[in-house]
Amino acid sequence: MADNGADTPKGELAIRTLAMPADANPNGDIFGGWGISQMDIAGGITAYARAHGRVATVAVTGFTFHKPVLIGDVVCCYCDIQKVGTTSITIGIETWTLRHRESRNRIKVTEGVFIFVALDENGKPRPVPPE
């Protein structure tokens, strides 16, 4: 299905959105920062669910852009929890697009590793509860 050698996203679908003209640069590609923000939102949703409460992004590592996102692409972010520490959650996030909304062909466009920390009501790190 995808053109990058892998045909199945790793992890679970966390968000799906549409890349709009307001998110594009003058060349018609979607700004990388917009894509990163979508991944951060997806990771935050996943980390919040696993931590049973408030989380904050503390690091992003191993980030790679494979292909551009274009106006009109359906952008899908998949999250895979890689590690749960005492107060942190490490999540691998892949972004795939459906290039033509009617198409079933998925294209892996971006991937990265995001680290979140669970926070208490005072914004201090707290333990992540067991599953």
Tell me the domain boundaries of the chain: 12-102
pLDDT tens-place values along the chain, 131 residues long: 334 446 899 999 999 999 999 999 998 899 999 999 999 999 999 999 999 999 999 999 989 999 999 999 999 999 999 999 999 999 999 999 998 766 678 999 999 999 999 999 999 999 999 98
- Looking at residue 62, its pLDDT comes to 84
CATH topology of domain 12-102: Thiol Ester Dehydrase; Chain A (3.10.129)
Are the C-beta atoms of 34 and 86 separated by less than 8 Å? no
Residue with tokens 């333990």, as numbered in its chain: 127
pLDDT number for residue 28: 87
Torsion of CA 36, 37, 40, 44, to 10 degrees: -170
92 forms beta bridges with 80, 113
The Cα diameter of the chain in Å comes to 47
The per-residue pLDDT for 5 is 47
